[in-house]
Amino acid sequence: MTRPRTHDVVIAGGGLFGLVLAEQLATRTAVRVMVVEHAHHLGGLCWSRRDPRTGVEYSPYGTHVVATSDDRVWEWITNRVRMVPYQHTVHAAVSDRLVPLPLGLEAVEAAYGRPMSPDEARATVEADAAPYRERPADSVRDLALAQVGERLYETFVRGYVTAQWGADPAQLSPEVFAERFGISYAPSRGYRPDARWQGLPCGSYSTLIDPLADHERIEVHLGRDYLDVPRPRYRRLMVVTTPIDIHFGLQLGPLQRRSLHVDWKLVEAEKAQRVPVVTFPDGTSGHYRSHAPALLPWNHGQEPTGEVLVGFEAAGPGPNQIDFVLRTPPNTELAAKYRQLVATGGDVLLVGRGTTFYDDMSATIGHALALADRLVPDLT
């Protein structure tokens, strides 16, 4: 007997992309939507929970902060949840100092070991970078050397990139540097200095995520892999937000991936870090980043007492594992070939983190809203 197609749209993956889209389709059309998520929680990486030992709200996959300059995205978020304004800063541990990132005046001073004016810092870095500007910047290493010179590259970039991506910076596409680093010569203004809005959903990510699927025409299946047989059946459309090569049964070969994981431990308060996120760019620590969520505003920014929850982020498989596709030239080529397998005008769309190398939450929400705009007229 053929199983009935009970839903108009099936969405594979209940991460941020899948849920924003599900909510938009359910509220702007009359379609019935099924969300199939293989984890036992919604939200994908954009997820937080309460640690039962300390009562601290934390993001198991590592600190996630919303930063956007997109009016529509900010309006969409703040219509759903109260946001706590929060100017996040990641610090790098360099020679027993905590240096605010992204690279700014403090980083230049730390790398060269002396105080400088912004003009002096610029002149020093430019002189260091000038010899590297004569060759093409087609890797992280070459772009970083051309933009910030050898001293800053060696102090802040090389070890960190090698540890996080598990690859020599000379093998990684330059976008990895362009998207995550950059330099200014003013004192640091934090994580995303150009974003018009930054913050955290009040209390937890659940306050944003859970209500998205709470609609009479959205059915959620947790703990289910959409590739398992029997596959979910749909009347109109399937939207896949999960890895593109796995969707196609690896028929062109696997995209090269890197795993990282976050191991959450209790640390004596006196030994715990005093800022929310620290990176270790010397590449010699067993972990390259650590997170102390008790210092985030949804835990009232309180000073930790007693034992403190700290997440140690390291390369390789482990608890709270994240797999991501390495941005290398061969991977970019293979991903493009996979995208060509998606039939134009067909009834399966591949979107979200599974098809891109990196989108932040703002871009993810923006793309999901734009896709809904495109689909709604046909589904109405």
Pick 51 or 360: Cβ nearer ligand FAD: 360
- DSSP lists the bridge partners of residue 315 as 260
Among 121-129, 197-205, 212-220, 224-232, the segment contacting ligand FAD (CB under 6 A): 224-232
Tokens describing residue 147? 């933009």
Least Å distance, CB 346 to ligand FAD, is 19
Number of amino acids touching ligand FAD (CB under 6 A) = 32
CB of residue 356 vs ligand FAD: minimum separation in angstroms?
A: 8
Footprint (CB under 6 A) of ligand FAD, residues 334-363 = 352-353, 359-362
Coil, helix or strand for 11? strand
Q: How far is the CB of 115 from ligand FAD (least distance, A)?
A: 31
Q: Which residues make beta-bridge pairs with 57?
A: 50
Instruction: In whole angstroms, give the CA distance from residue 202 to residue 57.
Output: 11
In whole angstroms, what is the distance from residue 347 CA to residue 349 CA?
7
Q: Does 201 bind ligand FAD (CB under 6 A)?
A: no
Our finding on whether 322 is near ligand FAD (CB under 6 A) is yes
According to the binding rule CB under 6 A, does residue 16 interact with ligand FAD?
yes
Structure tokens belonging to residue 128: 């260091």
154 forms bridges with which residues in the sheet? none
CA distances from 115 to 40, 100, 105, 173, 271 (A): 51, 15, 9, 33, 28
Q: Which residues contact 15 (CB under 8 A, 6 or more apart)?
A: 37, 43, 44, 45, 46, 241, 352, 353
Cβ partners under 8 Å of residue 29, min gap 6: 376, 379, 380
Binding span for ligand FAD by CB under 6 A among 61-69, 168-176, 209-217, 300-308: 61-69
The one among 64, 141, 287, 291 contacting ligand FAD by CB under 6 A: 64
Q: Which of 6, 33, 30 is nearest to 380 (CA)?
A: 30
With CB under 6 A as the contact rule, the residue among 65, 81, 140, 213 that binds ligand FAD is 65
**Nearest residue to ligand FAD, using CB?**
15
Which of 147, 204, 242, 299 forms a contact with ligand FAD (CB under 6 A)?
Answer: 242
Contact status: 44 vs ligand FAD (CB under 6 A): yes
Distance, CA of 83 to CA of 199 (rounded, Å): 6
In the complex, which residues of this chain contact ligand FAD (CB under 6 A)? 12-18, 36-39, 44-46, 62, 64-66, 225-227, 241-242, 322, 324, 352-353, 359-362, 364
